[in-house]
Amino acid sequence: MLYAILKLIYKTGLQVFFRRFEVRNRSLMPDEGPLLVVSNHPNTFMDPIVTASLLRQPVHFIAKSTVFGSGFQSWMLRQMHLIPIHRREDNPDQAMSNDEAFAASFKALQQKKTLLIFPEGNSFNQRRLRKLKTGMARIALGAEADTNFGLGIKILPVGLNYTAPTRFRSDMFVNIGEPIVVADYATASQQDAQAAVLTLTEEIRQRLENLIIHTPTDEEDELARQIEAVYKEHLAAAAPPDAPAYEQDFLLTKAIVKSIGYFSQTAPARVAALKQKLNNYMLQLKRLRLQDAVMGKRSNAILQQSLLNLLYLTVGFPVYLYGLLHNYIPYIIPSKVARAVTKEEEWYAPIMLTVGIFTFPLFYLLAGWMATGLLDLTWPWALLYFLSLPLSGFFTLHYWNTLQRTQEHWLLFQLFIKRQNLISDLRQQRQVIIAELEAAKHDYMEELKLPFEGKASS
């Protein structure tokens, strides 16, 4: 009962927290077990919330034993379907046994339940898949071996891709992979159980890596993000429109990362030179408090958009103040709580989501009660007032983002008037970078005989 209530609450919260929440290949998700769901783990508690919200059936979670306390806390976590597992790194000086966790996992799968495991073990806010632990393969093969491979366990790989894991109203792309039938490893497991575990673990790793943006190092990830900022719009314009925008965006990023890996091996000097130009260009933009997006627009288009934005900001200012008055406190409290509770960025989003689930409804109810009592509102007016609170909140957020974009546009105009040579130089640098990226794309496709780079990783 507790699990069902929390799932409903969090599922609603996710639709508010993320600006765009997209799922690819949802039809591949089985509606029943025995099922073992495995996923990358970039965003701590947000990852199980996202994954479990997509499955119709209840999900049991494998969690590190250190989150379990004693008494009420342990009882609560078990009611939420968490199964504790001991990790050597949590208690390196003690001999740990996971017999209880494995027995509970076997029992859950034999009862045709669904388990969720994050085989990386720890959560890090990075666009990469770290080394996988073998526990999920041992659980799957062990449970099947106990019944002579007659259970029919499947392993479902799920790739979680966040545009900004710690930011409210960012984008979420969930990439579902083809399930793995564990019984296919029956012969291999019977011949050499340990080798089968390693083979299955490697199969899971490859599948997960294909479902996410995987950058091997922080340096390559930074380069990929810079190329995305400057060049992805050019790639998207040439891409065939046979895939949804969110899927196309993912494939383009995958192609960029793949091409960086290729040139890092075949032409490292070329990559180093491009990296230097991008770093210099981005550093100058940062010093001027500009984004690359405005540099690619024509001056007339920026002026026209700025004037429209100014009209919108003027007309919408009273609504902005109304929304700010009613939403600032419940909006700022989750952020303050998250930063007070932890310094680890990976925990910000789930804490903000959890706290926000309570602060917004409670504050809205309090505001509605006070307004009804003070203004003696009839129920239709009270309902209208209550509905205006979340709507004005979304408007206020959009208004603030528009205000920031408009400020950036006017800053660009001021620089263009006062320091025209500087802006011209930046735009020239941008054109040189884009020309080099175009040449690299041509060479890459010619070498690998690809019809279009955006489809390279599909």
User: What does the pLDDT read at residue 148?
Assistant: 93
Residue 181, pLDDT above cutoff 70: yes
Provide the pLDDT confidence category of residue 455 given band limits of 50, 70 and 90: very low
User: What does the pLDDT read at residue 3?
Assistant: 79
Determine the Cα–Cα distance for residues 39 and 208; give it in Å rounded to an integer: 7
Which has more pLDDT, 175 or 102?
Answer: 175
Residue 8, pLDDT above cutoff 70: yes
User: What does the pLDDT read at residue 24?
Assistant: 95
- Give residue for tokens 């040449």: 439
pTM of the model as a whole: 0.87
Pairing of strands 35-39, 154-162: parallel
Which has more pLDDT, 363 or 68?
Answer: 363
> Using an 8 Å Cβ cutoff, are 289 and 252 in contact?
no
User: What does the pLDDT read at residue 412?
Assistant: 87
User: What does the pLDDT read at residue 346?
Assistant: 80
Going from N- to C-terminal start, the domains of the chain cover 2-211, 218-287+450-455, 299-418
User: What does the pLDDT read at residue 454?
Assistant: 45
Q: Which of 53-62, 75-84, 105-114, 221-230 has the highest average model confidence (pLDDT)?
A: 221-230
For residue range 41-50, what is the model confidence (pLDDT) as tens digits?
A: 999 889 999 9
User: What does the pLDDT read at residue 86?
Assistant: 59
Residue 81, pLDDT above cutoff 80: no
- CATH assignment of 2-211, given 3.40.800.20, 3.90.1410.10, 3.40.1130.10, 3.30.420.130? 3.40.1130.10
State the CB neighbour count (10 A cutoff) for residue 254.
Answer: 23
Average pLDDT over residues 76-81: 64
Cα pseudo-dihedral 120, 175, 14, 121, rounded to 10: 0
Residue 274, pLDDT above cutoff 80: yes
Among 63-77, 120-134, 175-189, the range scoring the smallest mean pLDDT is 63-77
Determine the Cα–Cα distance for residues 432 and 430; give it in Å rounded to an integer: 5
Determine the Cα–Cα distance for residues 304 and 444; give it in Å rounded to an integer: 38
Residue 80, pLDDT above cutoff 70: no
Residue 276, pLDDT above cutoff 90: yes
For residue range 208-259, what is the model confidence (pLDDT) as tens digits?
A: 999 999 999 999 999 999 999 999 988 887 766 777 888 889 999 999 999 9
> Using an 8 Å Cβ cutoff, are 271 and 263 in contact?
yes
Residue 161, pLDDT above cutoff 60: yes
Tell me the torsion sign for CA atoms 216, 217, 219, 224: positive
Cα pseudo-dihedral 126, 131, 135, 137, rounded to 10: 110
User: What does the pLDDT read at residue 453?
Assistant: 44
For residue range 138-158, what is the model confidence (pLDDT) as tens digits?
A: 999 999 999 999 999 999 999
Determine the Cα–Cα distance for residues 232 and 257; give it in Å rounded to an integer: 12
